[in-house]
Chains A and B, each alone.
Chain A
Amino acid sequence: MAKSIEFDALGLPPEAESLRGEVREFLDAEIAAGNINPNNAGGRGSFDRAFSKRVGAKGWIGMTWPKQYGGHERSYLERYVVNEEFLAAGAPTQAHFVADRQSGPILLQHAPEEIKADILPRITRGECTFCIGMSEPDSGSDLFAAKTKADKVEQGWRINGRKVWTSYAHQSDYMIALFRTAPPTKENRRHGLTQFLVDMKKPGITVSPIPFMTGGHEFNEVVFDDAMLPDNSVLGEIDGAWKQATSELAYERSGPERFLETYQVLVELIGALGDKPDLRGAEGVGRLVAQLNSLRRMSISVAGMLAAGKEPVLEASIVKDLGTNWEQALPAKARDLAAFADVEPSNRPNFQDVIDHATMIAPKLTIQGGTREILRGIIARGLGLR
């Protein structure tokens, strides 16, 4: 019901706004040096280890983590600002993005001390890339159908099976994976899965590309054939991964990456319409900007709840559902709105390239990280309907 939903109005604190200035200076220098091309339709947000190291040196990876592990003990709202500035500029963050958002926090919570001391500082220096091993050929949204097995043996755990749709597995140092350690029970079909830390250099792990329809290589198949993992790769409770999954969702689903993935389309649309747009163009742009503004307010509000130690899983699902629908619809709307605009010939190729690329990546936005249908189920549960 309405009372179970919370979106308090929240301004960014002064320290976050002064950080924004620093981030913009850094990004301007990166653009000037040719390290980021903000107009490059297909290359936005790509993978660049050297860039990630420079970001690490600025102290912008693991910002909220304890100093003991290389973190900076800054707030979620400061992290929010760095994140949205990088996204808007199309910075190549993929070599550290997953580790910073997701894998690091899991390790912080569930990894043994020696693993934390070893890996977390490397993540914060931008030297360590993570991928997520969830989906399998017969397990996507239905995570608890995962079959890839981890068998307890004398020397540790023996892994056999196959993960698919694994983004950047071919460039990752580690994977955090969900493996089956016991069959589900009659009472609880979610029982029997365990989270593991996988060193991707171990023998018995084969990574092969699954190209996107754009031709781009991000997805992979990862096959485990008697791969051996040490005992200390278990993260959290054996057979009890399902208890650990929900708290992550609030971090994973509420950030600005859930509505800024196709942001460049809006920038190009405004360029295409010119400084005196027709009324249809003006109204269309105004609606898009209003919608974006409200998504940003929602995302900041959730960041504030995370900072306050809450677990806004319902609110995060709402942000992801609204946000990904928005960024997905954006290229088609821009195409409509620019239909009668007299686009300057010199601007035309880039506008078209950006729309074309966004159109082709749009379908994944409401699939990855929780499909629209799964999210609506979570929201329905939050309303007390399930």
Chain B
Amino acid sequence: MTSADPIIVETTERIFRDLADPQAINSADDDAWRAPLWTALEEAGLTVAWLDDALGGGGASIADGFAIARVSGTYAAPVPLAETLLAAWLLGRGGIEAPTGRMTVAPTRTKDRIVLDADGRLVGSVHQVPWASASDHMALIAAQADKNVVALVETGACSVIAGTNLAADPRDEVRFDGVTPLKTAPAPEGLGERGLRLMGAAARSLQMTSALEAILDLSVDYAGERVAFERKISKFQAVQHELAKLASETAAAMAASGSAAKAIGDAEAFDDRTFMEVASTKVRVGEAAREGAAIAHQVHGAIGFTEEYVLHRFTRRLWSWQDDFGSESVWAAEIGKMICAGGPDQLWATITAA
């Protein structure tokens, strides 16, 4: 995989820094920050970076798109950037031109399935879809007979039952009830709902890694300012060791999510090797999120769980992102089944295959 284009990384950073400062958003009285942020991201071509130029996208590499997701996590901004990126990517896999505006993808959970029936209508329902209610369009993987198709559908044509995750971001149920998609195309060989979940899991893992970095920095800074028993609490060994554990969990997330992005960028196929790398990553990063968020809150004490302080912008998203595109438990069970089916003699070969 080629590494990410520094101009894309810098542009993404600049837009978020200028328009989505977590403290400013946290203190904002209204949603006035939302529109300018989205417009800036869209005008810079970041939202559809993964789509070919010819299809109205940015023509960016896999590495570039993942780098955009990675930066967005640093700000934990409530904006469907990763979702729109993923949708544009999926549409591109089917050779479908992307519309402008906010998008999301489905299905994102193992138990959800969408069918394109013989009359070309979508049937089925999907749950916990990120940002569906705020999206203009959705990109879907649907089953048609024994094949997979990529479908573009107008969200307004579907029944959306709005919900939220614990960070108050939309996580909605969507019922298709015979909606006719705007466009459909055969999915490339080997790309099905698991491939979409893996792509989403990799993007989410990168966002989670950046959010972990952010809470590590917040916690180290806070421990260096807060004084108790006439010392900065960062000078207490017990606090130092907790922060060291948070750093280690963050480091594990860095290594795991970086290698998941690399695996997809190198292969751009969703075979068993990519599955092992990405599924392992979502498990490990999810575990890091749980452990890391707990430590960050413990270090912060009472201020950490107030509304006015910025920590919750990250920890609430870390907790809810654990569930997106497959939780630790879901992916771990899939990995475990594959490993056990291969038997003990195959284990080492599987681990070293990537």
Contact = CB atoms under 8 A, between A and B. Distances in A.
B63 to A, nearest CB: 10
A23 B76 CA distance: 46
B158 to A, nearest CB: 33
Interface stretch (A101-109, A131-139, A179-187, A377-385): A377-385
Q: How large is the interface on A (under 10, 10 to 19, 20 to 34, 35 or more residues)?
A: 35 or more
Contacts of B241: 373, 376-377, 380
B333 A293 contact: no
A84 B352 contact: yes
B339 A286 contact: yes
**Highest count of chain B CB atoms <10 Å: which of A298, A384, A385:** A385
Nearest to B221: A1
B240 to A, nearest CB: 4
Contacts of B262: 9, 11
A266 B328 CA distance: 19
Interface string A130-154: 0000000000000000000000000
Given A2-B213, A267-B347, A286 B240 contact: no
B88 interface: no
B341 interface: yes
Contacts of A375: 244
Contacts of B354: 11
B255 A283 contact: no
A11 B354 CA distance: 8
Contacts of A295: 252
A318 B279 CA distance: 22
A5 B259 contact: no
B283 interface: yes
A111 B344 CA distance: 45
Interface of B: 212-214, 216-217, 220, 223-224, 234-235, 237, 240-241, 243-245, 247-248, 250-252, 254-256, 258-259, 261-262, 266, 276-277, 279-281, 283-284, 287, 328-329, 331-337, 339-341, 343-344, 347-348, 351-352, 354
Interface of A: 1-2, 5, 7-9, 11, 20, 84, 88, 266-268, 270-271, 273-277, 279, 281-287, 289-298, 301, 315, 318, 321-322, 373, 375-377, 379-380, 382-386
15 contacts: A2-B216, A2-B250, A270-B340, A271-B343, A282-B336, A286-B331, A286-B336, A286-B337, A287-B287, A291-B283, A293-B284, A294-B256, A294-B281, A377-B237, A377-B244
The 5 closest A-B pairs by CB, nearest first: A286-B332, A282-B336, A286-B336, A286-B335, A2-B213
